[in-house]
Structure 1
Amino acid sequence: MEIRDLKIFLMVAEKKSISGASKFLYMTPQGISKVLKKLEEELQCQLYSRDPSGILLTESGERFRDYARREIEAYTELEKDILRIEQRQKKEVDLLSAYGILRLVTPDCITTFRDRHPDIQFHYREYPDLRVEELFAEREGNVAFSIGEFDEERYHVTPLESFPIKLLVNENHPLSRKETVTIEDMKDEPLYIESSQFYIYHLITEKCRQAGFEPKIVFQTSGFSLCHKMVSANKGISVAVDFIYEDMKKSGMKLVPFSDGIYEWKACMLTRKEEKENEAVRLFGEHIVQWLDKIQKGEIKR
């Protein structure tokens, strides 16, 4: 009995159809049927029956489904544990980064680290920040950059930099004439914002709901660039932080600070407390902190 066979069985149980499962597994129905027959012969029982609604699990099939789920979950955890061991021994950094943070630390930071440590294998993947948190919680990667507040009992949390989130408006918009704004000023304004996979989306929508209204979101996107483009065209308003605004700055726009609470884009670096120290990850963390310190001192330009 192989893990692959268990996954095939679970897909058939989920889809209640061999032909339906075949589309997801990229297998022929005949190949799937052969696996199911092998499992039944090995267990000496009938795992499923057919009726007009599709394939149904027998009582034995339901019990086997529970077993298959546990075995796959345990095997997945084993794979991740072994990967962590191998990464530590081979000196690997496997970085999960939220969009925007590599812009914050600059690509040169990564290039310099690679040049200084050619013996360290470096990999990175970028995702929306909430997806980074999900993957890291599932034990993907061995270091993460993300946005927000984090469980310091579970993770080593190193603050990188924080920026106030501000309202982004066209200079011809009436709100551009204000020195500060409140969340109520956003009511009924067409809003372009990053999607629900981003921390900033949830912060702004929750602030609006606390103020008693739903934001008028006309479009959700996976990055700041479209928001800036639409504000530049005076199609609506958005929110942004200083360093991204300066990096993507177009004429005719203005950032206006909020005055009614904490609106913060807080970038952090995470490692897991449960894992043995990875020398490569430790060196990378030290490099990041030193690099950002040089940016703050003006020795390196962002």
Structure 2
Amino acid sequence: MRMDIRQITYFVAVAQNGSFSKAAEMLSLSQPALSLAVKKLEEELGAKLFYSFNKRQELTDEGRALLDSARELLDAYQRTVENVHTSRTSRSGTFTLGLSPLFGACFFGDLIPEFYREYPDIHITVIEDGANKIDERIAGGQVDLAVTLKTERLATFASCHFTTQRNVALLHRSHPLAGEKELTVAQLREEPFAIFNQDFILHRQILSACHSAGFRPKIALLSSQWDFMVELVAKNHAVSILPKPVMDKHPDPNVACVPLSDSMKYWDIALAWNKERYMSNACRLFLDFVRAHLPPDDL
């Protein structure tokens, strides 16, 4: 059986008008075409739906049985169409955001609550991980939108600029270099480092910068927790490299922050998503919201 919504519409129109000619006029359809469509429906159902009496089309028992269900079906179809149209401008829904804890600490503590105030019916599931892992989740379609660092891999995603910030060397306030205006990674070659682990792009960038400066860093700590690294610096057990916004929001009186001037000078952040995946309206609203509230670049 291949009964479709068009046939149901024609059947209901004839039943309501009691006439093929009046129904055809209402439907802007020729009477022969309408009669043929209803006849085909009767053949598919194996039942006579109308009979002629006193110049009217009256319903048979089978026709009356079909009419109530047909009306319910047309109502459901209309609601479905309206829901599709409404979804284009809906202010509700869900999506998944990939976010490094470091990005969250620097920028999203205010952004996400502000978004919720404007869009209370949109729910965000946040997946926290290092930027390396977040990039894998973008590629695998496990997140709808992500905040990541600008690297060569970013070219494989759809993306837009979020912010550029300065990186700083973290040293104990008593360190001989703590009073410098700027530092290079090379000046830290004798120091033990507390840095992010391999799940973070910053880990690879720091190792690469040290390699370019001609040394392999001594590692005192590999961690996923930036506050643990700051604690080691505050106790004069290590130095570290972190984005300046982290220390702006969470200063420590025992830690001096000295801007870097070499390849580690900047921290470039982007919003990225898999260009082969569909982006929901809820996710697009968040992307537009973030673009309208970008933090200023620190160049």
Q: CA deviation at 1:266?
A: 1.7
* 2:256 aligned with 1:254: yes
Tell me if 1:243 matches 2:240: no
The 1-side partners of 2:105 and 2:292 are apart by 16
**Structure 2 counterpart of 1:160, which letter?**
F
Change (3 A) 1:187 1:286: same
- 1:118 deviation in Å? 3.1
**What's the counterpart of residue 285 of structure 2?**
283
Instruction: Name whichever of 100-109 and 219-228 sits farther off.
Output: 100-109
User: Partner letter of residue 242 of structure 2?
Assistant: A
Counterpart of 1:202 in structure 2: which amino acid? R
1:252 shift after superposition: 2.6
- Answer whether contact 1:98 1:147 (CA < 8 A) is retained: no
On the 8 A contact 2:115/2:286 being kept in 1, the answer is yes
8 A contact 1:105–1:288 mirrored in 2: no
What TM-score, normalized by structure 1, do the two folds share? 0.63
Query: Which among 267, 280, 285 is matched to residue 265 of structure 1?
Result: 267
Compared CA separation, residues 113 and 212, structure 1 to 2 (3 A): same
The answer to whether the 8 A contact 2:147-2:270 is kept is yes
1:129/1:147 contact within 8 Å kept? yes
Q: Equivalents in 2 of 1:289, 1:275: separation in Å? A: 20
Matching residue's letter, 1:291? H
CA distance in 2, matches of 1:275, 1:133: 15
Identical aligned pairs, as a percentage?
A: 22
Structure 2 counterpart of 1:220: 222
Matched residue SS, 1:197: coil
Identify which of 192, 195, 208 aligns with 1:193: 195
Partner of 2:9: none
* CA shift for structure 1 position 150: 5.3
Q: Deviations along 1:247-271, whole A, 9 cap, x unmatched? A: 2211132111222335322221112
Look up the match of 2:44: none
Q: 1:183 to 1:276 in 2, by over 3 A?
A: same
Matching residue of 1:229: 231
For the residue of structure 2 that corresponds to 1:213, the secondary structure is coil
The count of corresponding residues between Structure 1 and Structure 2 is 209
What is residue 181 of structure 2 aligned with on the other side?
A: 179
Cα displacement (A) at 1:127: 0.7
1-structure distance, mates of 2:123, 2:108: 19
For 2:190 and 2:154, locate their aligned partners in 1 and report how far apart those are by CA, in whole Å: 38
Rate the CA distance shift 1:152–1:296 in 2: closer, same or farther, 3 A. closer
Q: Distance in 1 between matches of 2:184 and 2:296?
A: 29
Q: Mark the CA change 1:153 to 1:218 in structure 2 (over 3 Å): closer, same or farther.
A: closer
> Do 1:99 and 1:129's aligned partners in 2 also have CA atoms closer than 8 Å?
no
Counterpart-to-counterpart distance in 2, 1:204 and 1:116: 39
- Cα distance between partner residues in 2 of 1:254 and 1:100: 19
Deviates more, 1:114-123 or 1:201-210: 114-123
**Change over 3 Å in CA distance of 1:152–1:171 after alignment to 2:** closer
- Quick one: structure 1 residues 277 and 192, their matched pair in 2 at CA, closer, same or farther if it must change by over 3 Å? closer
**TM-score of the aligned structures, taking structure 2 as reference length:** 0.64
- Distance in 2, Cα, partners of 1:153 & 1:228: 32
Partner Cα separation in structure 2 for residue 103 and residue 180 of structure 1: 25
Check if 1:112 corresponds to 2:120.
Answer: no
More moved, 168-177 vs 272-281: 272-281
- Opposite residue 190 of structure 1, the aligned amino acid is P
Which residue of the partner structure matches residue 99 of structure 1? Answer: 101
Unmatched segments (≥5 aa) in structure 2: 1-86
Q: How far does residue 296 in structure 1 lie from its aligned partner after superposition?
A: 4.2
1:55 alignment counterpart: none
8 Å Cα contact 2:154/2:272 also seen in 1:
no
Consecutive unaligned residues in structure 1, runs of 5 or more: 1-86, 298-302
Instruction: Evaluate the alpha carbon distance shift between residue 184 and residue 199 of structure 1 in structure 2; reply closer, same or farther with a 3 A threshold.
Output: same
Q: 2:160 aligns with which of 138, 158, 161?
A: 158
Q: CA deviation at 1:151?
A: 4.7
Letter in 1 for 2:287: G
